[in-house]
Amino acid sequence: MSGIFGKRQVMLAVLVVALAVAVYLNYYFSTQNPISTDANTSTSNSRNLGDAHFVDNPSTVTTSSTGTIADPSDYFVQARHNRSEARQEAIDIIRDLMNDVKASQKTQQQALEKAAAIAAAVEQESKIESLIKAKGFNDCIAFIEDDKCNVVVRSNDLNDAQALQITDIVTSQSNIVAQNVNIVTVK
């Protein structure tokens, strides 16, 4: 029986299960945090989904290619949804590679390493988002890819001290250096 289930297969199964649990927990917790609506928010200071916003961007009204004005709370909901879908697609591709009997050992090992990297990123993003919210921000979302992190926070005016707090949180919860942390605000 030990010939069927070797150490590598057991390790692979454990990592796949851990990755699945991490994705589920990320989805679960992102849907459990209701987006608070700010009484001062109106369509005149809304942002669009997918628009690039710079830190301290003074513009208050943006429209999408369809001409509609998007509510900023929708940005965080949509961004979490898009992140989950993209991760699920990546996990499906990795799972297919790992289960492909024609794939080389090297390819399967690379797929396993990528799965572990995705699981680590999910965990780090979750911790970063929780700690940033604990610092008093209404909402935020973090995107970790390789050695870079983009953090989008709901803030009317982000000061240097708050940006430093966010950068410190990212660097303490991941192996990302401060120069690779990009902070974007959404009003």
Give the model confidence (pLDDT) of 118-135 as tens digits. Answer: 888 999 999 999 999 999
What pLDDT is stored for residue 2 in this prediction? Answer: 52
Tokens standing for residue 119: 């699981």
Q: Is the pLDDT of residue 108 over 80?
A: yes
Q: Is the pLDDT of residue 43 over 60?
A: no
Q: Is the pLDDT of residue 56 over 90?
A: no
Cβ neighbours of residue 124 under 8 Å, at least 6 residues apart?
Answer: 142, 144, 173, 174
What pLDDT is stored for residue 72 in this prediction? Answer: 53
The DSSP output letter for 180 is G
Q: Which fold has domain 7-186?
A: Helix Hairpins (1.10.287)
Q: Exposure of 129 by Cβ count < 10 A (0-12 exposed, 13-18 middle, 19+ buried)?
A: buried
* Mean pLDDT over the full length of the chain: 76
Cβ neighbours of residue 164 under 8 Å, at least 6 residues apart?
Answer: none
Query: pLDDT-derived band of residue 3, with 50, 70 and 90 as boundaries?
Result: low
Q: Is the pLDDT of residue 7 over 60?
A: yes
What pLDDT is stored for residue 69 in this prediction? Answer: 39
Instruction: Please indicate whether residue 33 or residue 125 has the higher confidence score (pLDDT).
Output: 125
Domain-wise residue ranges, the chain:
7-186
Query: pLDDT tens digits, residue range 73-87?
Result: 588 889 999 999 998
Instruction: Please indicate whether residue 114 or residue 48 has the higher confidence score (pLDDT).
Output: 114
- Angle of the 72-99 helix axis to the 105-134 helix axis, nearest 10: 160
Q: Is the pLDDT of residue 92 over 70?
A: yes
Q: Across the chain, which distance is largest between two alpha carbons, in Å?
A: 67
Query: pLDDT tens digits, residue range 139-170?
Result: 999 999 889 999 999 988 888 999 999 999 99
- Per the DSSP assignment, residues forming a β-bridge with 149 are 144, 181
Q: Is the pLDDT of residue 45 over 70?
A: no
